[in-house]
Amino acid sequence: MKKNIAVLPGDGIGPEIMEQGIKVCKAVAQKFHHEFEFQQGWVGAEAIDRTGNPFPDETFELCKQSDAVLFGAIGDPKYDNDPDAKVRPEQGLLAMRKKLGLYANVRPVTTFPSLRGKAPIRPELLDGVDFVVLRELTGGIYFGKPQGRSEDGLTAYDTSMYHRYEVERIVRLACRYAMQRDKRVTVVDKANVLATSRLWRSVAVDIAKEFPEITMDFMFVDNAAMQLIQWPKKFDVIVTENMFGDILTDEASVITGSLGLLPSASIGQYTSVFEPIHGSYPQAKGKNIANPLGTILSVAMMFDYAFQLQDEAEAIRKAVLKSLEENFVTEDLTTDNPKTTSEVGDWIAERILE
Ligand code: IPM
Ligand code: MG
């Protein structure tokens, strides 16, 4: 199989972890006789420095022409500490999501037996956790207009907005996922307060009628935040709006033992984007210490979802499991002889080739 892959390393540790992702793709290509062509594009702070635009048109075109996009991370502290900055790297990520129509962000959360005890939650609560969060990615308060400041600068406002069709398509996707799993969908909202959430509920009830085998329940987001930590095993598929999904998936990452482990797929109209859920981790930039497994598992999701190459995806996941079992991992996961980012990448690539 021949595929074009757009590679957008982005900021902070993005380039270092992306290098490991590409190593893994190359190992898969060699082992399974595929041909992958990688083309790099600028995004984020790096793109602002070069072009003034955090998601330049050339990058957009590159993504559209590719069979899949691998994305690293975005964000730079020089912008975080400057609330008056006219352009911000994060706008590049949001522009990418909007322009590529990446409406569904799929974030699976599972525990790894070999990491038992690494999470700050009692291990017996976590054994066998296996759920997936579908986060709506192109609507809600991230994109609603108006957004801004009053003229006197004393008030600021954001708008959360959803159209019926935006809710329909993500809830339908959640039900399809659930049909392949335990057939349970939890819709997370704040319907006791927010009008958008009440729209979500009524649309979800309608969509559920298309899937008579599915059990759907509803949970307020504050309660969901609590239950996710207290009884994470009871969830199967969670579907929620953009900002709730952002917050809950960072919370959920604690369950696995490290934020550096969680992969994600963003399903789009033109192409799909695969990225770890963690950020640009600027403190670690250039130090070769960041955990590349979230990126490598995102590569596995690319093989699964974008290329329908399940054996290849499985080979990657097996190698990752092995690195966890043998404690061949970065310093976020072990104090006992931690390995560097590139050592972990090399090791995984070698296991795939074996
Ligand atoms: C994520 C990130 C982004 C988001 C930031 C970097 C804009 O936190 O992908 O979860 O909020 O969506
Ligand atoms: Mg986030």
pLDDT tens for residues 167-201?
999 999 999 999 999 999 999 999 999 999 999 99
Task: Check if 287 is active-site.
Answer: no
Pairing of the two strands 263-267 and 273-276 = antiparallel
Q: Please, which pLDDT band fits residue 258 given cuts at 50, 70 and 90?
A: confident
Nearest CA to ligand 1 atom 10: 246
Is the pLDDT higher at 79 or at 287? 287
Task: Check if 246 is active-site.
Answer: yes
Name the active-site residue from 80, 127, 222, 311: 222
Atom of ligand 1 at shortest range from CA of 249: 10
Asked whether residue 211 is assigned to any structural domain, the reply reads yes
Per-residue confidence (pLDDT) for residue 118, from 0 to 100 = 87
Ligand 1 contacts (CB < 6 A) are 74-75, 90, 93, 246, 277, 279
Domain termination site, one of 255, 277, 305: 255
129 alpha carbon – ligand 2 mean position (Å) = 21
Cα separation, 182 vs 200, whole angstroms: 22
For 262, the domain range is: 1-106+258-354
Do 199 and 268 belong to one domain?
Answer: no
Asked whether residue 114 is assigned to any structural domain, the reply reads no
Do 97 and 176 belong to one domain?
Answer: no
Task: Check if 64 is active-site.
Answer: no
Is the pLDDT higher at 150 or at 83? 150
Cβ proximity of 31 and 91 under 8 Å? no
What 3-state DSSP class applies to 263? Answer: strand
Do 156 and 218 belong to one domain?
Answer: yes
Q: Please, which pLDDT band fits residue 135 given cuts at 50, 70 and 90?
A: very high
- Per-residue pLDDT, averaged over 231-251, amounts to 96
Pairing of the two strands 104-110 and 130-136 = antiparallel
Q: Please, which pLDDT band fits residue 20 given cuts at 50, 70 and 90?
A: very high
Q: Please state, as a whole number, how many other Cβ atoms lie within 10 Å of the Cβ of residue 145.
A: 8
- Is the per-residue pLDDT at 50 higher than 90? yes
Do 250 and 127 belong to one domain?
Answer: yes
Task: Check if 190 is active-site.
Answer: yes
Q: Please, which pLDDT band fits residue 84 given cuts at 50, 70 and 90?
A: confident
- Is the per-residue pLDDT at 303 higher than 80? yes
Spell out the residues 6+ positions from residue 134 whose beta carbon is closer than 8 angstroms to its own. Answer: 104, 105, 106, 107, 170, 173, 174, 177, 237, 238, 239, 240, 245
Nearest CA to ligand 1 atom 6: 90
Residue whose CB lies within 8 A of the most ligand 1 atoms, among 74, 90, 251, for a mutation test: 90
Asked whether residue 112 is assigned to any structural domain, the reply reads no
Instruction: Say how many domains are in the chain.
Output: 2
Per-residue confidence (pLDDT) for residue 350, from 0 to 100 = 98
- Is the per-residue pLDDT at 83 higher than 80? no
Share of the chain above pLDDT 90, in %: 93
* pLDDT, tens only, 336-350: 999 999 999 999 999
What CATH number corresponds to the domain at position 49? 3.40.718.10
R_g over Cα of the chain: 20
Cα separation, 241 vs 160, whole angstroms: 10
134 alpha carbon – ligand 2 mean position (Å) = 13
Domain termination site, one of 187, 220, 255: 255
Positions of E strands within 81-162 = 104-110, 130-136, 144-149, 156-159
- The type of residue at 152 is D
Asked whether residue 162 is assigned to any structural domain, the reply reads yes
Transcribe 11-60 into DSSP letters: STTHHHHHHHHHHHHHHHHHHHT-EEEEEE---THHHHHHHS-SS-HHHH
Do 266 and 245 belong to one domain?
Answer: no
Do 199 and 279 belong to one domain?
Answer: no
- The type of residue at 285 is K
Q: Please state, as a whole number, how many other Cβ atoms lie within 10 Å of the Cβ of residue 117.
A: 11
- Is the per-residue pLDDT at 283 higher than 90? yes
Tokens of 126: 């976590």
318 alpha carbon – ligand 1 mean position (Å) = 28
Cα separation, 274 vs 299, whole angstroms: 7
Do 234 and 172 belong to one domain?
Answer: yes
Cβ proximity of 2 and 34 under 8 Å? yes
- Is the per-residue pLDDT at 82 higher than 90? no
How many H helices and E strands in the chain? 13, 12
- Per-residue pLDDT, averaged over 5-13, amounts to 98
Transcribe 304-326 into DSSP letters: IIIT--HHHHHHHHHHHHHHHHT
